[in-house]
Chains A and B, each alone.
Chain A
Amino acid sequence: MNPHFVQRMGFVLLTLISLVVVIPILLVMGVIAVRGAQIISVEFLTAMPRQGMTEGGILPAIVGTLLLTLGTALVALPIGVGGGIYLAEYARDSLFTRTIRLAIVNLASIPSVVYGLFGLGAFVLFLQFGTSILAGSLTLAIMTLPVIMSTTEEALRAVPVEFRTVSASLGGTKWQGIRHVVLPQALPGIITGVILGLLRVAGETAPILFTAAAFYLPRLPQSVFDETMALPYHLYVISTQVPGMPLDVQYGTAFVLLVFVLSLNIVASLIRSHFRRKREW
């Protein structure tokens, strides 16, 4: 066969294959946007649900998801970033650090429903937090830790070792070098990692199923020990558990969740590209 023809065919084939990735995303977003956008109104976003959730708004679910995400960030950020700093800057290769790395890899591959059950056992029952925002946030935090920890480690490792040497040569201690020279440069990568980690759990249903989520609770949570509605769980409920639910309420809820997750994603990309342009190496 003519090699030019083979080359062209290969090119066309590979292009088509990569399109396969794009099509489902565009379809999902398109369908949800078109069908969900119609119901979006001030009332839908700011009112309590009424009539067995078939009318009114989804405010408590929106607030619940925001609070759960915030709580997750508060717990996972210091632990994840701290652990990432340890792994990248201080850990030497030993049985101890290999155990940590093994734990990270394994945590990342545990099914989310298992996290939910763990949270139920550990936080809801054993620590007696009850089904609550606190228990849910802790569960989600554990789930997102591996992502935050490993992206922090990668971001720190991407900063050339010479910067640490320069800081040391100017009389800086190891921590001063990390604090003043390495961390600022790794920060965009760390922030991106944290957001992506939060993104992943913001849309999760299974981990909050037993730990935080309320089926139908038309009021806003008053404390971290309250249970709460949340967008992913609400979507699950109105799609499968409530007969006669209007389709546009389902699509509307999916649309809001999608917009929330996508906007976090866009923020992460903006931060990344903004700092990449300013980077000096």
Chain B
Amino acid sequence: MVTKIHIEGLTYKYGDKEALHDVSLDVEANSITVFFGPAAGGKTTLLRLINRLNDSVENTSMTGRILLNGQDIYSCRIDVPELRRRVGMVFALPLPLPGTVRGNVLYGPKLAGISDRARLDALLVRSLSQAALWEEVRDRLDAPASELSGGQQQRLCIARSLALEPEVLLLDEPASGLDPLSTAKVERSLIELKEQYTIILVPHNVQQAARMADWAAFFLMGELVEYGRGEQVFTNARDQRTEDYVTGRFG
């Protein structure tokens, strides 16, 4: 297994409240790793730490390390915007930026300094196709993004992240609030995308976790209870708490 992200002894606090306690795990490249568990388990916090989106949150403290390709992302030599281009993030609620479909997809690349029209057009088509949205929006690339349906907006947000050609894609409940049809489309495109990207997914329910996971990590109250191959975690959990959660005895 090729390790893309190595997390080691990670403890993270908001004020006095511990959100993550001594979490260690390795994320395999070109696979889908699922972080699942009940609310307030620390999943979203961990995602936000992997691309340093929590930097702006005040009164927090962190110990432990996160390595991307063996490099400490909290080292002072890291250029944070550059890191975020390499580690893309899709949020639970789709939030198109004000402006057109095209403007949304090309926001990141333009800030990254790409100005060649042909290159931008190619990125636009490619990332919208990868997010399974191209066919639906090819005729209204210059329409306001807010006119798309909720499911389309979420795929637009995925395309927006993909346009930066990241190495890692973090998705925080990307299917919450989507209808089953849109969810299926998103899931199908994620499975295709893992050929090129390393994907970490916080699913919105256990069923989705089981469907998608190559690897699964079960988080409970800030603790990594169990981490292993998806089929093992969901059919033959080693820890009683994982077993109870997966079979619906609590949650």
Enumerate chain A interface residues (CB-CB to B < 8 A): 92, 162-163, 165-173, 176, 180-181, 184-185, 280
Contacts and interface: CB of A to CB of B under 8 A. Distances in A.
Interface string B75-87: 0000001101100
A170 B161 contact: yes
Contact of B98 (A162, A165, A280): A280
Contacts of B93: 162
Contacts of B112: 171
A16 B84 CA distance: 59
Report which residue of A92, A168, A176, A185 has the largest number of chain B beta carbons within 10 angstroms of its beta carbon: A168
B108 interface: yes
B102 interface: no
A184 B161 contact: no
A208 to B, nearest CB: 40
A181 B97 contact: yes
Interface residues of B, number: 25
Contacts of A180: 107, 111
A183 to B, nearest CB: 11
Nearest to B85: A171
Interface string B30-49: 00000000000000000000
A90 to B, nearest CB: 11
Nearest to B112: A171
A185 B108 CA distance: 18
Contacts of B53: 165, 168-169
Contact of A173 (B81, B88, B97, B160): B81
Interface string B132-158: 000000000000101000000000000
B200 interface: no
Main secondary structure of the interface of A (DSSP, over half): helix
B198 interface: no
B111 A172 contact: yes
A280 B103 CA distance: 15
Contacts of A171: 81-82, 84-85, 108, 111-112, 164
B89 interface: yes
Given A167-B97, A170-B161, A176 B91 contact: no
B112 to A, nearest CB: 6
A170 B111 contact: yes
A64 B84 CA distance: 53
A166 B91 contact: yes
Given A168-B53, A170-B160, A163 B97 contact: yes
A184 B164 contact: no
Contacts of A166: 91, 95, 97
Given A162-B91, A280-B146, A169 B98 contact: no
Contacts of B56: 168
B146 A170 contact: no
Contacts of A172: 81, 107-108, 111
Contacts of B146: 280
Interface in B55-85: 56, 58, 81-82, 84-85
30 contacts: A92-B58, A162-B91, A162-B93, A165-B53, A166-B91, A166-B95, A166-B97, A167-B97, A168-B53, A169-B51, A169-B84, A169-B89, A170-B85, A170-B88, A170-B108, A170-B164, A171-B84, A171-B85, A171-B111, A171-B112, A171-B164, A172-B107, A172-B111, A173-B81, A180-B107, A181-B98, A184-B98, A185-B98, A280-B96, A280-B144
